[in-house]
Amino acid sequence: MGDSGLTPTTMTLRLAEHSKDREQQLAQIRQSLGPRSIVLIGLMGAGKTAVGRRLANWLDLPFTDADTEIEAAAGQSIKEIFAEHGEAYFREGERKVIARLLEGGPQVLATGGGAYMNPETRAAIQAHGISIWLKADLRVLLKRVSRRDHRPLLAVGDPETVMKTLMAERNPVYAEADLIVESHEVPHDVIVGAVADALAAKLGCDMPARKRRRKKVQ
Ligand code: S3P
């Protein structure tokens, strides 16, 4: 291992990750996307921000986090908005901010877990973007959200009960998304690869990237 901290194995994987096939696939996705946004939806803990950031990096597109934009517009954290003004006020701000952000494609846009439940927001996403539901199971979601305590919906009551209720309410609506990608407990880049493959198939620019890439990894 040299100064870079990369072992030969990680170097091979990194090179493979940016293989010609993958680069070609990503370039085709970018081209086919036009001005549309790639919109990540799903429950708290689904990995929308982490996956979205990496996906944007792979595609060389801007990344936007709707919650961060809502906080910037309000000059308050989401926790403060909920505490001071209530959820309905937050939802109205969320609808407006996402409508504005969707005018700014192409980009990768991560939305808060409740955003897609608003019919106007769903219609706007449909009109200006491609929606991807990052679908994770209860155990994975709870493990991920337990790492931080900034989510007001989980601050009231038992997180497992809240999450189960939200899954029952929201999963049938999330299922309307253009694409569904499982968000398992694997490195984020694996999920990003699955998202890229799903996008390529949806946009009709599918490449056999995975098959060829595997050959290069010893
Ligand atoms: C919410 C999810 C949060 C945030 C707010 C409400 C929800 O975003 O928008 O706390 O209703 O599920 P994340 O999904 O990014 O945690």
- Cα–ligand 1 centroid distance for 150 (angstroms): 9
Dihedral, CA atoms, 119, 125, 130, 132, nearest 10 degrees?
A: -50
Mean pLDDT of 87-95: 98
Q: Residues 85-89: what's their mean pLDDT?
A: 97
pLDDT over 90, % of the chain: 81
The model's pLDDT over 52-74, given as tens digits with 9 standing for 90+, comes to: 999 999 999 999 999 999 999 99
Token digits of residue 139: 């155990």
Indicate if the pLDDT at residue 89 is higher than 90. yes
Token pair listed for 87: 């959820």
Residue 4's Cβ-count burial label (10 Å; 0-12, 13-18, 19+) is exposed
Mutate to test the pocket of ligand 1, among 68, 91, 92, 153 (most ligand atoms within 8 A of CB): 153
- What average pLDDT is seen over the chain? 90
| CA–CA dist 62, 108 (Å, integer) | 6
Distance in Å, CA 197 to ligand 1 centroid: 26
Amino acid 5: pLDDT: 45
Helix (H) or strand (E) holding 109: strand 107-110
Tens of pLDDT, residues 177-208 = 999 999 999 999 999 999 999 999 999 987 55
Quick one: average pLDDT of 22-51?
Answer: 97
Name the band, by pLDDT with cuts 50, 70 and 90, for residue 2.
very low
Q: How far is the CA of 42 from the centre of ligand 1 (A)?
A: 9
Which has the minimum average pLDDT: 70-79, 82-91, 189-198, 209-218? 209-218
Residues 6 or more apart whose CB falls under 8 angstroms from that of 143 comprise: 45, 185
Q: 88: buried, middle or exposed (CB in 10 Å: 19+, 13-18, 0-12)? A: exposed
Among 11, 51, 56, which residue's Cα sits nearest to residue 30? 56
**Listed range (87-101, 105-119, 138-152, 179-193) with the worst mean pLDDT:** 138-152
- The C-alpha atoms of residue 55 and residue 107 are separated, in whole angstroms, by 10
**Crossing angle for the helix pair 159-174 and 138-145, nearest 10 degrees?**
120
